[in-house]
Amino acid sequence: MGLAPLSQQRRRLGCIVLTTQDAKTEILIEVFLPMLNSAVCTKLKFIVGVAVFLPCASLLIPASEGPCANQEANQLLQRGRDTFPKGGYGAPPTVAAAGRALTYFDLAVEKDPACAQAHVAQAQAYADFPSWPGVPPAERFVKVQSAAAKAIELQGNLAPAHLLLALAEFNTGQWAQAEKEFKRAIQLAPSDAPAHASYARYLAAMGHFDEAIAEMEQARKLAGGTPRFSLAAGEIYYWARRYDRAIELIRPAVDASPIGNFLLGWAYVGKSEWDEAIRAFEKELPLADRDAGALMSLAYAYAAAGRRSEVPKLLEEAKEKTNRMYVPVYRIAAVYVALSDKDQAIEWLEKAYHDDFGWMVWLKVDPVMAPLRSEPRFQDLLRRMNFPSELK
């Protein structure tokens, strides 16, 4: 039978259950049953390929308190938060979980457009999931910036909104605005460890390592020794070229996050300890589902270690992925640096500058790019990045 648009079905019937088992349908099931008691949901009998219409009014969860004036928006917001785990250096959400969470947050905004916390949740979902298929970081952070700015427009003293706006501006090269928003977020929430850690990454990218380390140590103190903040600190010490300290922090916490071995491998790269770096990257590869970043990290270590015969197949696999998903081409450029092919390295950096800005924020300080620094074309790239020389 013909179906009305989904939004109309939701308003008229309360909810709709689509019963196929693919990931897309799973999202729709969750979207249109946000208010069903979970015990009721588990007892429903579905027939594959059939749409089942249910009157939902009698099955609503009792109204709960929350930040939104609209109680249904509060319920959607909570359901999204329950679906979407914390990001950062912890375990990232799956694509399906992230999609479901974002759909809840979108619906919460639709129900209560004046609810600042719903816009914060939207921004957080995009910011916390670093590998949206086919979505480059710069494009993703435009969405973060829009949602965070709307939240601030509605409620100017929300520290998370200012932090998310700062992250969006940092990842899109808006340096002065990012610094201002990081400071505002910390001013509003001085005991927030993620705010200090995020500002530390900004400071490191700008080359202000002493200040970055001070901010990160403050974050670690506030976090009470949480392993993911040890990983975050290890990254800062890596950028500061204090590799022994980076390894000291990362190694005990390596299993706290799927990117633990990625960070550990690059710390060993800094010390030119190629066997250890390769071992870490080989552990990372299956954990990252052979994504292009993991492939290129291993390829870099192989090339730098003199095992060049193993590099082409990894490069080819990563390049093939560019046809169907987001690939951090900055990491491809790094492999060509290790292969001493400066022309190809700069060509891929140019592509990153135009199409994939995310990793380019590290161009000023990345030790991997040291062999290119005297190249006029590299110097031109640095000028175009317009990094500030001093803190504001």
- CA-CA distance, 150 to 139, in Å (whole number)? 17
Question: Which residues lie closer than 8 Å to 289 by C-beta, 6 or more apart?
Answer: none
Give residue 85's pLDDT band: very low, low, confident or very high (50, 70, 90). low
Quick one: average pLDDT of 200-225? 97
pLDDT of residue 280: 97
340 burial via Cβ count (<10 Å: 0-12, 13-18, 19+):
exposed
For domain 258-392, say whether CATH 2.60.120 is its number. Answer: no
Cα 384 versus chain centre, distance: 25
Q: Convert the pLDDT of each residue in 91-142 to its tens digit.
A: 555 667 778 888 999 999 999 999 999 999 999 988 876 555 556 777 788 9
Residue 288's pLDDT band, with cuts at 50, 70 and 90, is confident
Within the chain, strands assigned E span 14-18, 51-55
Nearest to 113 by CA among 167, 82, 76: 76
pLDDT single digits (tens) 332-354: 999 999 999 999 999 999 999 99
Average pLDDT, the chain: 82
Per-residue pLDDT at 22 exceeds 70: no
- Average pLDDT over every residue of 187-210: 97
CA–CA dist 38, 19 (Å, integer): 16
Average the pLDDT over 303-332 and give the result.
Answer: 90
Among 71-85, 119-133, 178-192, which stretch is predicted with the lowest mean pLDDT?
Answer: 119-133
Asked whether the predicted pLDDT for residue 42 surpasses 70, the reply is no
Distance (Å, whole) CA 289 – CA 285: 6
Over range 280-308, report the average pLDDT.
93
Residue ranges per domain, the chain?
258-392
Q: What is the pLDDT of residues 147-176, one digit of tens each?
A: 999 999 999 999 999 999 999 999 999 999
| pLDDT band for position 36 (cuts 50, 70, 90) | very low
- What is the structure's pLDDT at 60? 29
Check whether 41 has a pLDDT greater than 50: no
4 has a pLDDT exceeding 60: no
62 or 291, greater pLDDT: 291
C-alpha to C-alpha distance for 118 and 35, rounded to whole angstroms: 17
Residue-level pLDDT at 138: 74
Q: What is the pLDDT of residue 57?
A: 28
pLDDT per residue as tens digits for the range 260-270: 999 999 999 99
